[in-house]
Each structure stands twice: as structure tokens, then as C-alpha cells.
Amino acid sequence: MVRQWWAGRQVPCLQVGSKRLSHPVAGDLTLDRDSLTSTADPAQQLVIMTPEPGTPSHDGLRFLASWTVAPYGRARDTTA
């Protein structure tokens, strides 16, 4: 979708900043925030939040992500 927005020149505004979140398990997280707004529908936005590599926020998100990842080489049981 973003590729189509850029190709059609429908993204006039890119906003950047940072966002602080407090997660009950991962703790305080500081994330870089990029927000793209579509000119075709200004109510439609794409928001991307990423941590700075090597920071406690990066480690906290990797820890949370590890809860959803199946161990390498083993498939998840989807029969349940």
C-alpha cells in the first residue's frame, strides 16, 4: 500500500518523532515514530514505530516478540 501511495504521490506529509510507552512486562519503551498520511483519504495513516538498536527499548520489544515465535526448526501445532 505504501508503495502505491508514494508512486501516486499521495503522501504529502511525513511526520517523525518519538513516543514513550509503558508496558507492564517490558517496562518503559521509547520508540521512533514515522507517520505517513494519505492525500486521497486524510483519515488514513500508516504509523511505524521502531526502537533504536541496542537500547533497552529494543531489548524489551525483542523479549515480547520471543513469546510469539516458535522455536527454530519446529512448526507450531495448529490443530488446537
Instruction: Tell me the sheet residues that pair with 37.
Output: 13, 45
Question: Which residues of the chain form beta strands (DSSP E)?
Answer: 13-23, 27-37, 45-50
Domain ranges of the chain: 2-63
pLDDT of residue 32: 95
Average pLDDT of span 42-60: 92
Q: What is the residue-averaged pLDDT of the chain?
A: 81
pLDDT of residue 15: 80
State how far the Cα of 40 lies from the Cα of 37, in Å rounded to an integer: 9
State how far the Cα of 54 lies from the Cα of 16, in Å rounded to an integer: 20
Q: What is the pLDDT of residues 10-49, one digit of tens each?
A: 556 778 899 999 999 999 999 999 988 877 788 888 899 9
